[in-house]
Structure 1
């Protein structure tokens, strides 16, 4: 069902002048990024969605090709691609859209840095990791997602009842992911330190196998894998991210795209918001669309959809401050090599 991300082919698609730069930072970013991807790449099928068409935006003058990077599990961009409304909105001005699928956020942002894409969406961690690696990123909007859409779980028969009980235990999570920060924050709230547990850095698929096999004591995971763990593996939540981690998503754009095509970016975000509004009001329809894409039962996906939030919102000081807290925490555990100022990567052009 899933196709393998071909690194050699990826670099061949980049302009020659960007290849050397991209290769220098790709290894670091891609290693972190594989743990962040909810699913590996699989091809899109527009006929699988039953989402109704929204109203198109006014045509935009002087628009060329807009290149969008996406992950299959990024609900909104996957829906946007399948609906074709963005293409319709831009067609009157001679614009077109090119979609490139990525297995994770970091290689997507490296492609943006190399000039291969203009726009993308990731979770909290990839832009932090990219910025720390010297890759320029620009936040243009955020998606609230939901703190209830990620949690630390244990097996239903586990004696572990609260976060304090994790001391000396092995906890699985994807390195550098949103749940990596959840673990840090949860331990601090319980008077424990990161060194009080043994991290097991595993991708969601490997973590599930280790969790069900009893090779780890707890698992920090996000939806839809969280819903899968609850429904299929009988996982019990001991702590979700409420009050501990924001669990947001971010829309990012290349600085050159922001400067050269601000109206096209505005139209793009308008279309993203229309799809987001539809998804917010139609969790069952979204679940049906995602089910064949992700290989997960629609009923489980609907559970995940009902506890997440949607939105395309401007960056506020509060949001930037919280993203900075995540960056600082990652520096404290030496996940990123230097301190960064998140506000320096926030676009002021919207």
Structure 2
């Protein structure tokens, strides 16, 4: 049975125009910039644009079961697939989506200068565990990767974890050659023999494990203080204008976690359909994550409440310090920037009333 609680979470684009163009063409599906518009007569949005990723958490259950479409019958729900949190950040800046999934590292960047994306975190999709890992072809330890070519999606949680793993092994970033590839491209490059190692997540990770060796997982790094998570981000303007719709969205995500706990067969089948894998494989992938329900997330270890922001703010602040040390962001924002970035009020309205 899936563990339902885990340790507390620790953890420049050139112009606005170039970002907007990138958002409309990146990956496998940035949503079109058009959308939103006036509200329906009942106050619900006419359109809700969601950016999702192929990660075996509750979001895929919500999508597969069409719960949002049923709960918001007057709202047109669009689902656009992304390959990484960096692409989600780009789409958020372009105004292409209203809610998206991004890892804690890209969210840290999104809340920091120079991006300062106008969004906040209302939900934790999952705490990352063994579903993200560093896999190598002909190495038994990380130190053996010196001079090797390692692929990972830049600005992702995997990128953050790779840098942490190298640092822990006594290697500098310049001791290896890190290349920026999205997960599908990593799988293709691995098949061609173009790369020596990769830090990536399932389902691509599962394919690489067939011919490679796992050197370290994100669960291993979490035990050393470098915890990562998949977070929801919602445009602040959308959250302010449509609080009821956001509450409905939160309740459906919570419903998915409860289904995973109570009826794994149905939940695994739903996730399997979205990932195009068997229910058994989907269930195994689900087990590699830590999933939290709404009440758990409103606790002090995680998102917290409006009056008392949770430990996630400190975790993102710690991640910002690490990213600054790696020259990935120019400055570290004050802690209150990350505290304001947590949507504790919205989470409390959905589950604690």
Please give the residue correspondences for 1:313-324 in structure 2 after superposition, counting only pairs within 5 Å.
313-314=297-298, 315-316=303-304, 317-324=310-317
The 3 A distance-change label for structure 1 pair 106 and 29 is farther
The match for 2:341 is 345
The 3 A distance-change label for structure 1 pair 283 and 221 is farther
The match for 2:325 is 332
Which of 263, 267, 275 is the equivalent residue of 1:294? Answer: 275
The match for 1:241 is 218
The 8 Å contact of residues 20 and 94 in structure 2, kept in 1 or not, is answered as no
Distance (whole Å) between structure 1 residues aligned to residue 94 and residue 191 of structure 2: 40
Per-residue displacement from partner, 1:130-151 (whole Å, max 9, x unpaired)? 3442321211121233322111
TM-score normalized by structure 1? 0.72
The match for 1:125 is 105
TM-score normalized by structure 2? 0.72
- Output the aligned Cα RMSD: 3.2
Structure 2, unpaired ranges of 5+: 1-14, 31-41, 305-309, 347-353
Structure 1, unpaired ranges of 5+: 1-20, 35-39, 43-60
Which of 247, 267, 272 is the equivalent residue of 2:253? Answer: 272
The 3 A distance-change label for structure 1 pair 283 and 196 is farther
Give 3-state SS (helix, strand or coil) of 2:117's partner: coil
Distance (whole Å) between structure 2 residues aligned to residue 347 and residue 292 of structure 1: 31
The 8 Å contact of residues 62 and 253 in structure 2, kept in 1 or not, is answered as yes
Distance (whole Å) between structure 1 residues aligned to residue 190 and residue 90 of structure 2: 32
Q: CA deviation at 1:344?
A: 4.1
Which of 179, 202, 211 is the equivalent residue of 2:158? Answer: 179
The match for 2:169 is 190
Q: CA deviation at 1:96?
A: 2.2
Please give the residue correspondences for 1:150-229 in structure 2 after superposition, counting only pairs within 5 Å.
150-155=132-137, 158=138, 160-229=139-208
The 3 A distance-change label for structure 1 pair 282 and 329 is farther
The 3 A distance-change label for structure 1 pair 167 and 143 is same
The 3 A distance-change label for structure 1 pair 111 and 220 is closer
Distance (whole Å) between structure 2 residues aligned to residue 114 and residue 167 of structure 1: 38
Per-residue displacement from partner, 1:146-168 (whole Å, max 9, x unpaired)? 3221111123xx2x222222233
Distance (whole Å) between structure 1 residues aligned to residue 240 and residue 142 of structure 2: 46
Distance (whole Å) between structure 1 residues aligned to residue 229 and residue 53 of structure 2: 17
The match for 1:18 is none
